[in-house]
Amino acid sequence: MEIERHEYDVVVIGAGGAGLRAAIEARQQGKRTAIICKSLFGKAHTVMAEGGAAAAMGNVNSDDNWMVHFRDTMRGGKFLNNWRMAELHAKEAPDRVWELEAWGALFDRTKDGKISQRNFGGHEYPRLAHVGDRTGLELIRTLQQRVVALQQEDEKLHGDPEAYIKVFAECTITRLLKDASSVHGKNGAISGAFGYWRETGKFVVFDAPAVVLATGGIGKSYVVTSNSWEYTGDGHALALLAGAQLINMEFIQFHPTGMVWPPSVRGILVTESVRGDGGVLRNSENRRFMFDYVPDVFKDKYATTEEEADRWYTDQANNRRPPELLPRDEVARAINAEVKAGRGSPQGGVFLDVSTRLPAAEIVKRLPSMHHQFKELADVDITKEPMQVGPTCHYIMGGVEVDADTGAASVPGLFAAGEVSGGMHGSNRLGGNSLSDLLVFGRRAGAGAAEYVNGLARRPAVSEAAVEDARAEALAPLERSGGENPYEVHHELQRTMNDLVGIIRKAEEISEALDAVEKLKERAQHTASPGGRIYNPGWHLALDLRNMLLVSECVARAALLREESRGGHTRDDYPKMSPEWRRKLLVCSATPDGDTVDVEERIQPSMRADLLALFDRTELSKYLTEGELTEYDAVKES
């Protein structure tokens, strides 16, 4: 059977912020670029980002600069971050935000006409460029419109708007393809990608020497999540199956404030801006409980009384921050503990109140989406009563291990950016650092891919045998009858991960989850999807299951190995943070059939001396081993 084929220089999988920014860069560098997205163009999960993009522009507080942002990011990630990524991110974020403005974005303004910046958890100064609470939408629309602008240019120049950049919407990639006559041995170079059109069910092969993964996260492996259906870990799985490694998979961010009621909307995000703009968390005893949960490493940076915390909103120079603005992992654990102790709200969350903190008109102006969301979905008027909120699976810090400067994975020709890549955020991401991450590393991955293509002596060739295998794999669920219902397998996986590898973990439960995942993998081999190939969601889900199971296994295996608690990984049986573990990354790899996942420990390279010098010794002593501190002292003296 004939399969539709396309030839490109760079294929970008995913059309959220990272994917679009990568594609724009590749096209601007003269590469013929394809953007492939599972949904319609402009619908990516990035639209869900609410709070803003963190960039140390210093528009609101001129003391802000990249070094402060870098420090905040490392602290937020509990020093496990890839420090080079954190450095590049802090340095380049302002340029990436300003560039959006030149492409038509309209951020909220300061009085002197600059881009306004808002407070957010873990950020020392007001730092998030924003548009009300719909910043992600502004970002995606601006990038989408930039792609259109480039297409209009190409139409003028070449008579074809799609000559250099084309969007393949509602198209899902199921396999990456590698060089048939590999010069690199079994680690052959990328030669393209195989997928299917959702609309017709027909297959398509992209012949391309460089692939940028920008597929986002894995939240759909959990029941309670803020993530959309697309978040099935496709890029994570594609990378593993192609021979690349994933790092930090044990670190999952549970956003502290998701909706808890009604049940059907459980998990939908309530932006951190509510707290950034003055909202407070209370338990059923009406106590602002976050004051009881400030960890030692942050003790000197957070207010100890409500009065000081409240003064901070107007006078940041002389007061410390409210503890509601601790990094997300801390707040999520605190809420979890309050509910467990029986001090939760009627629907099993805690109260998040902005109604007594700001005038109604101001709430509607600053938090329009939240006002709308609660009114329409929960019959709650947030200008009059508190919201009920609880933790929700929001973001995975782990992902494809990449070179910080180029986004290159270990497989030649494979690149990754955004949530699907790992390292930048360490063990916990700060709010606002995601949108800026997309822009900074989307651009870098696009440039990295373009440069890689420039340096190639020949185009790697697509292996026809691999295409045939991919075709058979994709057709299997349609050809079986009377097999497992993919919706049921999915639902069981979600329950398993939610209950056993959730916000608080322990060895027995993780092992139980691994057994369950093993059985589900077996069942997923026998799913049957009735119906035809045209837009068949049951079939699409059956194919997505392979990816969700594979990443869930990585999460669980890494979580079982890491015997400490840090950021988005909390072990009930190992509640302390360990400086020894800080130096170690857990690296996942898999066999090409995905049957076996392997996890190894690797030592993380030491931070460059000039970056280390940005911290004082007292702070570092909370994170580093004695040996590392001795090195630090030696550098300081020299």
Q: Which residues are catalytic?
A: 255, 275
Q: Of 49 and 559, which CB lies nearer to another protein in the complex structure? A: 49
Please provide the DSSP assignment of 109-137 as one string: B-TTSSB-EE--TT-SS--EE-STT-HHH
CB of 261 to another protein, least distance (A): 7
Residue type, 417: A
Torsion sign (Cα): 36, 38, 41, 46? negative
Instruction: Name the token pair of 448.
Output: 């990295």
Q: Which has the closest alpha carbon to 138: 270, 46, 216, 19?
A: 46
How distant, in Å, are the alpha carbons of 64, 279, 556 from that of 303? 21, 15, 36
Question: Least distance in Å: CB of 602 to another protein?
Answer: 36
Q: Is 449:92 a contact under the CB 8 Å cutoff?
A: no
Cα(33)–Cα(23) distance, integer angstroms: 6
* Six-digit token string for 104: 């038509």
Burial class of residue 264 in the structure, from the number of CB atoms within 10 Å of its CB (0-12 exposed, 13-18 middle, 19+ buried): exposed
Alpha carbons 247 and 325: distance in angstroms, whole number: 28
E runs forming strands in 305-446: 350-353, 387-396, 399-401, 414-416, 421-422
- For 208-360, strand residue ranges (E) read 210-213, 246-247, 252-259, 280-282, 350-353
Least distance in angstroms from the C-beta of 163 to another protein: 13
What 3-state DSSP class applies to 515? helix
CA distance linking residue 353 with residue 388, whole number of Å: 9
297 CB burial (10 A radius; 0-12, 13-18, 19+): middle
In the bound state with another protein, the residue whose beta carbon lies nearer, of 225 and 283, is 225
Residue 309: HSE in the Cβ half-sphere, 13 Å Cα cutoff = 23
Sign of CA dihedral 32, 37, 42, 47: negative
CB of 57 to another protein, least distance (A): 8
Centre a 10 Å sphere on the Cβ of residue 311 and count the other Cβ atoms it contains: 16
Alpha-carbon span 212 to 31, nearest angstrom: 13
Tokens of 8: 């490109």
Quote the distance between the C-alpha of residue 76 and its chain's center: 15
> Residue for token digits 């919201």?
387
Q: Give the containing element (helix H, strand E) for 636.
A: helix 626-637
- Measured from the CB atom, the residue of 198 and 471 that comes closer to another protein is 198
Least distance from another protein to the Cβ atom of residue 467, Å: 26
**Backbone phi, psi, residue 468, to 5°:** -65, -45
Asked if 140 and 42 touch (Cβ cutoff 8 Å), the reply is yes
Residues 6+ apart with CB under 8 A from 375: 381, 382
- In this complex, which beta carbon is closest to another protein, that of residue 530 or of residue 594? 530
**Inter-residue contact 96 to 440 (CB < 8 Å):** yes
Contact (Cβ atoms closer than 8 angstroms) between residue 378 and residue 266: no
The least CB distance from residue 582 to another protein, in Å, is 35
Binding site for another protein (CB under 8 A): 39-45, 47-48, 94-95, 98-99, 101-104, 106-109, 112-114, 116, 131-132, 134, 137-138, 141, 145, 148-149, 151-152, 161, 199, 228-230, 261-265, 268-269, 369, 372-373, 376-378, 485-488, 491, 529-532, 534-539
- Other C-beta atoms closer than 10 Å to the C-beta of 564 total 18
Q: Which residue has the tokens 């009114």?
A: 375
Nearer to another protein, 81 or 151 (CB): 151
Please say which residue, 191 or 527, places its beta carbon nearer to another protein: 527
> Which of 8/107 has CB closer to another protein?
107
Reported as type and span, the H/E element at residue 476 is: helix 464-479
> By C-beta, is 369 or 604 nearer to another protein?
369
Q: For another protein, which is the closer residue by CB, 362 or 631?
A: 362
Nearer to another protein, 174 or 529 (CB): 529
370 or 462: whose CB is closer to another protein?
Answer: 370
Alpha-carbon separation of residue 229 from 39, 104, 533 (angstroms): 10, 29, 19
The residue among 229 and 291 lying less far from another protein, judged by its C-beta, is: 229
